[in-house]
Amino acid sequence: MATPITSGTRARTATVLKGLRAEHSGPPGPGDALAAEHLRLLGAEGVGSSGGLISVGEGEFDTVSARSVWSGRSELRDETAVQAATGIMAVHGRRFGAPRGLAVDYVAATTGILTVQGLLAALLARARGGLTSQVEVSAERAGLLAVSQYLAASGAEEDEAAEPGPGGPPFTSADGTVFELETLDPGAWAAFWRALDAPEEATRRGWRPFQFRYATACAPFPNALHDVTRARTWDTVRSAADTSGAEVCRIRTLAERAAEHDGLGPWAMTTYDASCPLGAVPPTGMPLSGITVLEAGRRIQAPLTAHLLRLLGADVVRVEPPAGDPLRGMPPTCSGVSARWLALNRGKEAVEVDIKSASGRAQLCDLAAGADVFLHNWAPGKAAQLGLEREDLAVGNPGLVYAHTSGWADRLPDAPMGTDFMVQARTGVGEVVWPAGEPPVPSLMTLLDVLGGLLGAEAVLAGLLLRERTGRGIRTDSSLLGAADVLTAPARASIARGQEHRSAAGFRYPTRTADGWIAAPDHRGLPYDVRELPTTRALELLREHGVVATPVVTDLSALLSSDAVTHDAHGAPAVPDPWSFR
């Protein structure tokens, strides 16, 4: 491997939009407060009160504007309605066997980040000679994007690899410690339970639903496993984890996370001393036309980041191991390809590289030399071990935007494995996703993987724009920890003010009807008992009394024939782009 030739210095993210002004106007839109906060963090001036239309420009940039809307359908006009209509309630509630609304404004959060992405992409397009000046972001499509993998599986040609049903972690020890368990290795799973003297049959039956809980949002493994941990002390459980190679994490409170918070934003950037010719070409179509992204990512976070960049017009080349990504064949499938894999990777070019070999690493360096962005979500230290850090790839491409999406971004020295549910457990996310009266435990919906992927794309777009403005190479770092902090920020602010930070009991719980479920902004104020009424009649009666309610999608396959979902060449469901550019 060649010797690095550049050195970097930590950059304030505020340099990205330095000298540009942001103005808000019009009625509030979904996520506009979060969008305003991120624009402030990126250095925009004049960011004031929230408003549905955000305009950014001045200096060398023509003004671009973005508007966020709940939906093109008038009946979907708030967080509760969009969660109900897009399947979020259905997925979040799978662990209980009934739909449940997220007590946090998750759709608004994703919409706010997508709005900033749209603005950054439009500014970049203008800087490169494009004509894009306006973008509209749909919260309904943001909600569909959040469940896109679950939606894809519902339209597959076969059933799930693991039987879905209520159940799942976390576990509780004999002395009352509630904890998450994580391992990606069946051997470590078996060794952990063996160390606790769990029944062999329960251990065997439990692995598959545990392994597939990321895909199904539930884990109906035998209750005998819960019985085992309830009979063991926390010290015994930790000892079993240490000897087996599995990891456990105590469910921490949001107050604990607030006390240790380092004040850092959702992403970090490093600029490099060596200047570089950009060689950009004016785009002829989408904002990132002519941009090449080289992606070496697995599972959800990094592939989703690259997927979003592809939707914005970039050419994405996916680095896969020899014989291809094994997740391509993960059931359920469409035309022989994993439906979930397609949800994140359709339209990407693939190249097989053995990064464990010297020749493979040289091949990757050659590919990076012709790319604008190199993106990966390797474990901490792996890039350095392979000689594939930013400094190594900069030998052939000093202007590279080197993007790392991780679990913890090296911000917590005692952090466990950086997976979605472990990060939720460590950061108190359970206190915002469930209302008061419910155990504050992680959701089994991959909330942070999705939000982390969105932040990854936001960071890459900011890096590309900063490169365009400075002519220097950039490194960006984003993480699931950053995603957790974004999601819990309003609640942490309430804690700092000494206010109640959990939603009222029953918040966003849908109401049963004779043939389904409906969701209203405040179910406690319903003028009728609708439990024996058909959903259609219940909605009519409520509407007559001025109560707005939304039928809850409980089976995601019901969305497949709607205008909100399209299908790709494999016949797999595809969510439309969340942005509309003009």
What confidence tens digit (pLDDT) does each residue in 32-47 have? 999 999 999 999 988 7
Q: What average pLDDT does range 398-403 have in this prediction?
A: 95
How is residue 106 written in tokens? Answer: 């998750």
484 and 345 within one domain: yes
CATH at residue 402: 3.40.50.10540
345 and 365 within one domain: yes
Give the per-residue SS3 of 97-135: CCCCCCCCCHHHHHHHHHHHHHHHHHHHHHHCCCCCCEE
More confident residue, 275 or 503: 503
* Residue 190 lies in domain: 171-257
Question: What's residue 61's pLDDT?
Answer: 75
Question: What's residue 274's pLDDT?
Answer: 67
379 and 306 within one domain: yes
Q: Give the length of the chain.
A: 582
Write out pLDDT tens, residues 489-526. Answer: 999 999 999 999 999 999 999 999 999 999 998 776 67
Report the distance separating Cα 315 and Cα 236, nearest Å. 50
CA angle 333, 99, 96 (to 5 degrees): 85
Q: Is 479 helix (H, G, I), strand (E, B) or coil?
A: strand
In a domain, 286, yes or no: yes
237 and 109 within one domain: no
Question: What's residue 277's pLDDT?
Answer: 61
233 and 141 within one domain: no
454 and 313 within one domain: yes
Confidence of residue 150 (pLDDT cuts 50, 70, 90): very high
Is the pLDDT assigned to residue 7 strictly greater than 60?
A: no
Report the distance separating Cα 555 and Cα 557, nearest Å. 5
107 and 66 within one domain: yes
Write the DSSP string, 392-423.
HHTTT-TT-EEEEEESSTT--TT-----HHHH
Which of these three, 450, 469, 496, is where a domain ends?
496
Percent of the chain at pLDDT > 70 equals: 95
In a domain, 543, yes or no: no
Question: What's residue 3's pLDDT?
Answer: 36
In a domain, 541, yes or no: no
Which of these three, 496, 520, 551, is where a domain ends?
496
In a domain, 554, yes or no: no
Question: What's residue 160's pLDDT?
Answer: 76
Confidence of residue 4 (pLDDT cuts 50, 70, 90): very low
Mean pLDDT is lowest, of 76-80, 251-255, 323-327, 350-354, for 323-327
Q: What average pLDDT does range 280-291 have in this prediction?
A: 79
463 and 452 within one domain: yes
Is residue 214 within 8 Å of residue 203, measured between CB atoms? no
In a domain, 524, yes or no: no
123 and 61 within one domain: yes
Q: What average pLDDT does range 6-18 have in this prediction?
A: 67
Domain count, the chain: 2
Write out pLDDT tens, residues 526-577. Answer: 777 899 999 999 999 998 988 889 999 999 999 998 888 988 888 888 999 9
517-548 exposure pattern, b = at least 16 Cβ within 10 A, e = fewer: bbbbbebeebeeebeebebeebbeebeeeebe
Nearest-CA neighbor of 124 among 53, 62, 42, 39? 62
In a domain, 552, yes or no: no
Nearest-CA neighbor of 110 among 53, 35, 214? 35
Question: What's residue 52's pLDDT?
Answer: 74
> For all residues of the chain together, what is the average pLDDT?
92
